[in-house]
Amino acid sequence: MSPRFLRHTGAPERAVRVFLVDDVSAFRRLMRFTLEEDPRIEVVGEASDGQEGVTGVERLKPDVVLLDLAMPVLDGFEAMPLMLERSPGTTIVALSGFNAERMAALCIESGAHAYLEKGEDAEVIREAVLEAAVAA
């Protein structure tokens, strides 16, 4: 299965700086390991809720945010516009357990570059991150 609604494709020229936002620490660890298997990707920070995510994105200005939608304090839909406002060069890939058919279009309308389901293959997630970095 491939990423949905990608706006642009290509390959970055340097390591892509990624910020992870998900309320499940085990999932963040898994994503960090999965992403950093590719030397073109560097995870520069993590947050466990949308508010921490907004703060971290504003401070670190990553190329890409891998953003869960269902989180405490501030959910992904609430955090997304704040992240884009405070770090205009950042691109967001929404990643959630919700069915893509229902959520993909809403995520794109909210400013995400792509939407992926959490069950996607690791290579699909890595490629979506790399493609999102080119769109930044």
Q: Which domains does the chain have, with CATH numbers?
A: 16-135 (3.40.50.2300)
Interval 45-83: pLDDT, tens = 999 999 999 999 999 999 999 999 989 899 999 999 999
CB-side exposure of 53: number of CA atoms within 13 Å?
A: 34
Average pLDDT over residues 71-98: 93
Q: Is 116 helix (H, G, I), strand (E, B) or coil?
A: strand
Average pLDDT over residues 22-46: 96
